[in-house]
Amino acid sequence: MKKIIPTLWLTMISSISVLALQHRTVEQEKAALPGFKTYLSKNLGIEFNYPKILKVWEEKKSGIVVIEHRISFEYQDPCNGSVLRSRSKKILDFYSQISILHLTPTEVFRQEVMEKNEAGLITGVRNSVRVTYGELDGFRVYNGEHGCGPFSYFFQLAPQKVLKVDRWPSPEFAEISVEEKQIFSRLRQILLPENEEHIFREILTSLKWGIQ
């Protein structure tokens, strides 16, 4: 196993593509979108800015911070695998979860990047993308299929502390025509993919950790 780790690390590094986002100050982030608020999680030791149109709360048992936005609209659920897809009455156009993992870099790599078969044997390395948001520098992996499921972001804050952010892009916009997108854009307070991406970047760029 000790011989495998260095080789896999080199494989991951060679397969990672750089996705660097411009660093901006917190003051600039607040001005980027109107109506910003600040959320403080003493449990996770973090704080961040977010638009007031989003709903933010902390799950009591898990301590996970949830950020979401949804609007009322009846449609066929694209992530229902059955032939007769169920109908949903709301579009979840922004949904993210923030948590802290007490893991070392090697442990994160083993759990999140290594691919294993049913017998627990290592079969390869998952595709990873390096991401940078302000002071946060880490990597992203995809944990879904066909547009359904989250992207997971990992940022090492300390030798045994990792910030994990799970982000669920709205599957309704995965494969739609220009005409369909125009219909969605008429919905009141809808967050289209470009809006969702911008807000997500605003939140992570403003995030501070080590808050007591």
The reported pLDDT for the residue numbered 148 is: 82
Q: What pLDDT shows up at residue 34? A: 58
- Identify the pLDDT of residue 25: 44
Dist CA 30 CA 81 (whole Å)? 40
Alpha helices by DSSP H, listed for the chain, are 4-15, 26-32, 105-112, 178-185, 193-206
Domain range for 69 is 4-209
Q: What's 148's DSSP letter?
A: B
- The whole-number pLDDT of residue 4 equals 47
At residue 80, the pLDDT reads 64
| pLDDT attached to residue 19 | 37
pLDDT at 186: 79
Residue 173 carries which DSSP code? G
Residue 8 CA to residue 6 CA, distance in Å, equals: 5
Q: Give the chain's domain count.
A: 1
- Cβ-proximal residues to 159 (8 Å cutoff; 6+ apart), any chain: 104
**Mean pLDDT per 10-residue run, the chain (212 residues)?**
44 39 42 76 96 95 94 75 60 94 94 86 87 96 82 96 94 71 78 91 96 78
**CA–CA separation, 108 vs 135, rounded Å?**
20
